[in-house]
Structure 1
Amino acid sequence: MLVLSADVASAADESVREKAAQCTPCHGEAGASQTENTPSLAGQPDSFLQWQLVFFRAGSRKSEVMQPIAEQISNEDIRNLGTYFASLTPPKASTPDDNPDLSKKGAEAAAGRRCASCHGDTFAGSKAVARLAGQREDYLTKALHDYKSNVRVGGGVAAMAEVAYPLSEEEITALAHYLAHL
């Protein structure tokens, strides 16, 4: 019976890896994106990933690419994909910080906007709150602009809109740079 359970678990793991492989062209090998304006999924909190797929599927989060994909994903697949990507090692900054002064300004902006109160002291996120540390800089910039302009909705949208709306272009650039290099 134990062998049968192991075989079933192995088949389930393989099924999840096959479904996750469909995400690779955009979100990268092992969930580490190399695609402009596309987030890395590796190490994102499980609940956060699940909610984003639900938001895409419901159409409350807009994406011409993600919405049709999410519409085809079952609730079980959403749970399994969330668990799978959350289990992967999150990406580290792809390049050394070439602008420590900009990172310092970003750290000041993060402290001033109380980003750590939701995203955690290390910006690793938790539960339904995104991991920001090591995320692609271009994607972080895009996400902040989307929240600022109310293009992006989903969990925490009121808090994010309130935080992002007063940000200057310089603060958005600094925040994205700082977080990407953590």
Structure 2
Amino acid sequence: MTRLAAPLITLGLAMLGAASPLAAADLEAGKSKAALCAGCHGENGISPMEYTPSLAGQPDLFIQWQLVFFRSGTRQNASMRPFVDDLSNEDIRNLGAYYASLPPMRNSKPDDDPELSRKGAQAAAGRRCASCHTDNYAGTKATARLAGQREEYLIKALNEFKSGQRSGGAMAAMADVAYPLSEEEIYALAHYLAHL
């Protein structure tokens, strides 16, 4: 056993020494590539367009996976198609790191309907949204940040998950959560999350 173990350990150490670490993401390259995204997703990742998500502060892996889903066609969006077709894996890694490094969108408007937010908080607790999106809804790893996202975009996304129109990533989990939601719950959830 010792005769066999020594060569295997030596081989393993040699392979570790020979393996090159993954290159760190290049934030400047990500910022440069993000200039193409700014028309819809906004300067510094804060979207000025209705039904278009803000990307600032989204988790790195979430951005990367969504870009992979768009590029592969698993997730469909005609507006995204021309931008993702030519993205390299390195571009995707850089974009994920860049958007994750930006301060997230903060809703500057006061909550004009606290009762709707209260219902949204109840719906979020009842559907256990925090179990994936974290207690403060900032997202983690490949799970989206919801706090402060555009309200009308959240309504759109929840309706797409509910109808089965949206796929890629956590589709099965989100479909299970969204399918039984009433229209009122969807609006309440979106309002609550947008004002966090």
Give the TM-score, by structure 2 length: 0.86
Q: Is 1:33 matched with 2:39? A: no
The Cα shift of 1:13 comes to 4.3
Structure 1: state its 5+ residue gaps.
Answer: 1-8
Match of 2:65 among 39, 47, 51: 51
Match of 1:76 among 84, 90, 95: 90
Match of 2:160 among 124, 146, 151: 146
Which runs of 4 or more aligned residues in structure 1 lie more than 2 Å from their structure 2 counterparts after TM superposition?
12-16
Match of 1:105 among 105, 109, 119: 119
> For residue 100 of structure 2, what is the aligned residue in structure 1?
86
- Aligned 8 A contact 2:151 2:190 in 1: yes
| 2: CA distance, partners of 1:42 / 1:13 | 13
Residues 89-113 of structure 1, C-alpha deviations (whole Å, 9 max, x = no match) = 0011131100000000000000000
> For residue 79 of structure 2, what is the aligned residue in structure 1?
65
- Aligned 8 A contact 2:27 2:95 in 1: no
Match of 1:159 among 173, 179, 191: 173
| 2: CA distance, partners of 1:125 / 1:50 | 14
Matched position secondary structure for 2:148: coil
Letter of the 2:148 partner, please give it.
Answer: G
> For residue 21 of structure 1, what is the aligned residue in structure 2?
35
| 2: CA distance, partners of 1:16 / 1:176 | 29
Aligned length: 172
| 2: CA distance, partners of 1:38 / 1:26 | 7
- Aligned 8 A contact 2:56 2:104 in 1: yes
- Aligned 8 A contact 1:57 1:68 in 2: no
> For residue 137 of structure 2, what is the aligned residue in structure 1?
123
Q: CA RMSD in A?
A: 1.1
| 2: CA distance, partners of 1:101 / 1:163 | 22
Matched position secondary structure for 1:161: helix
| 2: CA distance, partners of 1:13 / 1:172 | 35
Larger of the two Rg values belongs to structure: 2
Q: Percent of pairs identical after alignment?
A: 67
Residues 46-99 of structure 1, C-alpha deviations (whole Å, 9 max, x = no match) = 000000000000001010011221111000000000000000000111311000
The Cα shift of 1:116 comes to 0.2
| 1: CA distance, partners of 2:46 / 2:168 | 23
| 2: CA distance, partners of 1:43 / 1:148 | 25
| 2: CA distance, partners of 1:97 / 1:104 | 11
Letter of the 2:130 partner, please give it.
Answer: A
The Cα shift of 1:147 comes to 0.1
The Cα shift of 1:26 comes to 0.2
